Amino acid sequence: MADYYEKKDLEDFGNIGEYSPELGKKYFEYYGEAMKAGTLTEREKALIALVVATTQKCPYCIDAYTSQCLSLGISREEMMEAEHVGAAMVAGIVLAHTTQMRKIIKKKEM
């Protein structure tokens, strides 16, 4: 895993438009617009991004958004509280999908 996820690769994020510069440019414009303060504050958006990063298990994003949360003065307790929202959501999503499992069980068992 370490061979695939190298810390310094985060620095390559700015080059993701390589081989498709127009789409890359559009992505970064969209990213910039979505992340800047709007109705939600930069702090709220940083916490959302951090939780998405951990639930999606992206080491680059976890690194970037933990730092961003620290930079914005978000406390470790606030970050952990937000992570529990993510954890509760992921747990709920898993359990909600047991509906399919239970339906199949009920259909197939005698």
Closer residue to other proteins (CB): 29 or 78: 78
Helix (H) or strand (E) segment spanning residue 5: none
**Gap between the Cα atoms of 24 and 13, Å rounded:** 11
Annotate each residue in 40-79 with x if it binds other proteins (CB under 8 A) or - if it does not, as one string.
Answer: -xxx-----------------------xx-xxxx-x----
Q: How far is CA 95 from the centre of its chain?
A: 20
Cβ at position 52, least distance to other proteins in Å = 19
> Of residues 1-20, which lie at the interface with other proteins (CB under 8 A)?
7-8, 11
Closer residue to other proteins (CB): 63 or 83: 63
Give backbone dihedrals phi and psi of 74, rounded to 5 degrees, phi first: -80, 130
The Cα angle at residue 45 between residues 41 and 46, in degrees rounded to 5: 115
The token pair that represents 94 in the structure block = 């898993």
Q: Which residues bind other proteins (CB under 8 A)?
A: 7-8, 11, 37, 41-43, 67-68, 70-73, 75
